[in-house]
C-alpha cells in the first residue's frame, strides 16, 4: 500500500476560453502546478519534475517554489529518488528534471519520439516547450537515465503507468494501490475535473479521440470519481487533505 502526496509548487491565471476546447466563457481560471510523491514502497517514486526559474519569468507564473524544495519538505532526500515517472514532456512536467540528479526518468516511447522528431518544428506545438530541457533527452538517454516504456507498465507491485496520449503524443497516467483503493494520477490527461467529468477536452491536443478515450480509461481505472487526482485543478485541495501550504495528502 502506497501513500500519495500532491505537492503544489506554482500557480498561473488564465481564462476558460483560452484553456478549454471551443469554450466561449471568458471567466478567469487558475491553474495549480504539482508534482506528486509516492511513498510506502521500497523507495520514493516521483511523478513529474515541474519547472525552474527560466519558465517562471517567461510565463507569468506566481507563487513559485522549486519542486525539489517541496519534495525535501516531505523529509525525502533527492538522492533517494531512483525513479521519476514523467507523464509527458511539456515544460511544467519535464523542465525540472535538472533538480533530480539521482532519478531515472520513465517516459513513453511515443512522447520521446514526438518531441525529437518531425513535429518539433511546428509552432502549433511550441507553446509548451522548454527547448533546453527537451534537448537533454538525448544525453540523458546515452547516460542511461531514461527508461523508455511502451503502453501499460508495472513500475512496482501495485504501481503502474498507462499510455493514454491525447493531450500529447505519449502522455501516460499513473495508477497507485492505496488504503482508499486504486488512485489515478491523471496529470494532463485531465487538467481539471470538468475535463474528465464532463468530457470537455482541453485546447492543447495531439489526438482528440485519444483524449476522450483517456477520460474513459481514467474513470475505468479509478472506479470511483473520489479516487481521481487531476493535473492542475485547485479543487484537488478541496477533495483531498491539505496538511500544510502546498502539501496535500491524497491517500
Ligand atoms: Zn501541465
Taking the C-alpha atoms of residue 221 and residue 233, their distance in angstroms, rounded to an integer, is: 20
Give the pLDDT score at 144.
98
Three-state secondary structure call for residue 146? strand
Look up the domain containing 77 and give its range: 3-249
- Residue 181 Cα to ligand 1 middle (Å): 25
- Residue 155 Cα to ligand 1 middle (Å): 22
> If we measure between CA atoms, which residue out of 156, 48, 146, 37 comes closest to residue 95?
48
CATH, residue 97: 3.60.15.10
**CB within 8 Å of 223: residues ≥ 6 apart:** 181, 182
- Residue 128 Cα to ligand 1 middle (Å): 9
Taking the C-alpha atoms of residue 67 and residue 58, their distance in angstroms, rounded to an integer, is: 17
Give the pLDDT score at 182.
98
Q: Give the global pTM.
A: 0.97
β-pairing verdict for 45-47 and 247-249: unpaired
- Residue 50 Cα to ligand 1 middle (Å): 9
- Residue 233 Cα to ligand 1 middle (Å): 10
Number of domains in the chain: 1
**CB within 8 Å of 234: residues ≥ 6 apart:** 30, 32
**pLDDT tens by residue, 8-55:** 999 999 999 999 999 999 999 999 999 999 999 999 999 999 999 999
Amino acid at each position: 500500500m502506497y501513500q500519495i502526496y500532491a505537492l503544489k509548487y506554482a500557480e498561473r491565471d488564465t481564462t476558460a476560453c483560452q484553456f478549454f476546447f471551443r469554450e466561449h466563457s471568458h471567466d478567469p481560471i487558475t491553474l495549480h502546478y504539482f508534482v506528486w510523491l509516492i511513498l510506502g514502497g521500497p523507495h520514493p517514486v516521483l511523478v513529474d519534475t515541474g519547472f525552474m526559474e527560466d519558465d517562471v519569468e517567461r510565463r507569468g507564473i506566481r507563487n513559485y517554489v522549486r519542486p525539489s524544495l517541496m519534495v525535501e519538505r516531505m523529509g525525502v532526500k533527492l538522492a533517494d529518488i531512483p525513479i521519476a515517472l514523467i507523464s509527458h514532456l511539456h515544460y511544467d512536467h519535464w523542465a525540472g528534471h535538472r533538480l533530480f540528479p539521482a532519478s531515472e526518468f520513465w517516459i513513453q516511447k511515443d512522447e520521446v519520439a514526438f518531441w525529437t522528431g518531425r513535429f518539433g518544428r511546428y509552432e502549433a506545438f511550441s507553446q509548451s516547450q522548454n527547448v533546453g530541457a527537451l534537448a537533454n533527452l538525448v544525453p540523458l538517454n546515452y547516460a542511461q537515465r531514461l527508461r523508455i516504456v511502451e503502453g501499460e507498465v508495472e513500475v512496482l507491485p501495485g504501481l503502474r503507468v498507462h499510455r493514454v496520449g491525447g493531450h500529447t503524443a505519449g502522455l501516460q497516467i499513473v495508477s497507485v494501490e492505496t488504503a482508499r483503493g486504486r488512485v489515478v494520477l491523471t496529470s494532463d490527461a485531465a487538467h481539471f475535473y470538468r475535463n474528465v467529468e464532463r468530457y470537455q477536452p482541453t485546447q492543447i491536443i495531439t489526438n482528440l479521440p485519444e483524449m476522450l478515450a483517456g477520460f474513459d480509461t481514467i474513470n475505468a481505472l479509478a472506479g470511483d470519481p473520489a479516487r481521481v487526482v487531476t493535473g492542475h485543478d485547485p479543487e484537488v485541495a478541496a477533495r483531498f487533505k491539505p496538511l500544510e501550504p502546498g502539501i496535500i495528502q491524497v491517500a
